[in-house]
Structure 1
């Protein structure tokens, strides 16, 4: 029997990969499952985007290998997007790197900058992939706690108390998943100052800027020359294109080139029609986001009703496509979610999967129709 690599000894299969098998088994047995667990948009991409993809299929070069850095037009579209919505000016030749989804970027960044034994600051609660990838590349995860008391923002006094000598990278994620906390200018400025002081690369993972958020922000706006700062972004959430696997990484030429060394040895460029569709999406006006948010706001109002029926507590000013709620006392998040699934056939995400600071919370997705969320409410009332 061939033994697996030792790097996998401390890495588990992604929670949703295993849990969704259970959900599907219940569905296959006839149970009417209402899925409020996964943040995969159920709304369609913009029609202009699908038309652009279709037209690009007729391009005689469409089925050939594409540039590792992405097409010039796609990079220009990313530059226009950052200028128009974040007031950030990027050199489209060397400060932008298209990605096959931002999860790819997390791996590439980690491989580009982390050596065995380097340490990584990871938010708790936070996206589980940050920790999993750090382990895969041989780095040590150093969790920094976010809490309801601090508005789910980093506590810099506590960070300064840590031994930071071996820390090389810090993951931040604002607007935050799973908590829905939004960042202001002063947070990004403090993060940049903190990174410079301790020679730590600060990477903001920024896919939720435009969902129920009236002030889209980029950490790059507050960095003079982008030295020591990078930002991941994605079309998955804001443009309902999660299955397309399209993201981007922005930062200084030096940092981008380091990641490019990894990327060019792991893929051969993105399918041309996907890039054409993505470029169209990034050039859409503000009205696209406004119309999407009208739908998400109505859904959020229904999920708030659902959470209230369950006796959960929550803040109503959360951003993004989830609602983060504290479960009633006397139960764990896993027990609460399993009871909800087995008894009422409603699936949500337990907070513990996002870290120890997520225990006692539950995350509801807004990626379900108002009708289905209303059905869930009626089941609970019955």
Structure 2
């Protein structure tokens, strides 16, 4: 038997990969499970996006290898999008790198900057992939706690008291997943000053800015951010294109060049038609966001009722496509969601998959129809 690489012993199979198998087996056995766990948009992309990929299939270059840096017109569309929605100027020539999903970017950035033994600041609670990728490249996760008392924002004073001599990279994620907390200009300025004092590269993972949020924000809008910050973004949530795998990383040209060294050795460019569709998505008018959010608002109102039916509390000011809800005291997240799954055939995500600070919380996805959410309310009631 060939032994696996030691790095595989540092990580486990992704929670949703395991849990959705269990849910699938329940459905196959006849259980009417409703999935409120995963944030996979169930709505359609803009029609003009579908038309763009369809019309592109006959283009002369459609089926050839594509540029590692993406089509120039895609980078131009990303640049204009950031200018219009975030008031951020980024050069389409050398400060933007399209990605096959922002999740790819987490790996590429980590491979570009981390050596074995380097340390990485990771939010708790936070996206589990930050930790798993850090371990896969041989670096060490150093968790920093977020909590409701501080609106799920980093405590810079507490961070500054840590031994930061080996810390090279810091992951932040605002608007925050899973809690939906919003960043503030002051918080971003404090993070940038912290990064400069300690020679740390900050990466803001920013795919949720346009869902139930009237104030889209980029860390790159803060003066001096490009010196120490990168930003990841994605079309998955904003344009219902999760399966298309279109993301981007933006930042200083030298940092983008370093990430390109990794990316260019790992793929041969994004499919031409997908890039054409992405260009059209980025050109969407304000009406697209208004229509999208009207659907999510209706769903969120129902999810709040579901949370109340389960005895939970929540923050009405949170944004994004999830509702982060606090359980009644002394209840454990995983035991609670397993009980609901078994008794009501409703799957909800336990807060603990996002870190120890998620204990006592559960997360509802808004990626389900109003009819399904109403059925969930009826079941748990």
Q: Give yes or no for TM over 0.5.
A: yes
For 1:257 and 1:29, how far apart are their aligned partners in 2?
50
Q: How does 1:263-282 map to 2 (within 5 A)?
A: 263-282=263-282
Q: Which runs of 5+ in 2 are unaligned?
A: none
Question: C-alpha separation between the residues in 2 aligned to 1:68 and 1:189?
Answer: 33
Normalising to structure 2: TM-score of the pair?
0.99
The TM-score, its normalising length taken from structure 1, stands at: 0.99
The answer to whether 1:92 aligns with 2:98 is: no
CA distance in 2, matches of 1:221, 1:380: 44
Distance 2:218 2:333 in 1: 32
Shift of 1:357: 0.3
Which aligned pairs between 1:145-160 and structure 2 lie closer than 5 A? Answer: 145-160=145-160
What does residue 114 of structure 1 align with? Answer: 114
Post-superposition, which runs of at least 4 consecutive aligned residues in structure 1 deviate over 3 A?
Answer: none
Find the counterpart in structure 2 of residue 366 from structure 1: 366
2:349 matched to 1:346? no
Q: Which residue of 2 aligns with 1:323?
A: 323
**2:163 equivalent to 1:187:** no
Question: 1:217 is matched with which residue?
Answer: 217
Offset from partner CA, 1:207-250 (integer Å, 9 cap, x none): 00000000000000103361111000000000000000000000
CA distance in 2, matches of 1:75, 1:112: 21
> Paired residue for 1:82?
82
Distance 2:302 2:357 in 1: 26
What CA distance in whole angstroms lies between the structure 2 residues aligned with 1:165 and 1:297? 45
Instruction: Tell me the distance in 1 between the aligned counterparts of 2:227 and 2:289.
Output: 31
Task: Check 1:126–1:225 CA distance in 2 against 1; reply closer, same or farther (3 A cut).
Answer: closer
Distance 1:305 1:15 in 2: 27
Report the secondary structure of 2:10's partner residue: coil
| 1:249 partner SS | strand
| C-alpha separation in 2, matches of 1:201 and 1:260 | 17
1:151-207 alpha-carbon deviations (Å, 9 max, x no partner) = 100011110110011100000000000000011111111111110010000100000
Name 1:169's counterpart in structure 2.
169
Alignment of 1:2-151 (within 5 A): 2-151=2-151
Deviation for aligned residue 1:330 = 2.7
RMSD between aligned residues? 0.7
Q: Contact conserved, 1:192 with 1:223, CA < 8 A, in 2?
A: no
Alignment of 1:163-312 (within 5 A): 163-224=163-224, 226-312=226-312
Return the alpha-carbon distance in structure 1 between the equivalents of residues 142 and 280 of structure 2: 40
Give, in whole Å, the separation in 2 of the partners of 1:365 and 1:13.
21
Q: Report how far residue 314 of structure 1 moved.
A: 1.1
Contact 2:219 2:225 in 1 (8 A): no
Please say if residues 225 and 252 of structure 1, whose CA atoms lie closer than 8 Å, have aligned partners that are also in contact: no
Counterpart-to-counterpart distance in 2, 1:366 and 1:10: 32
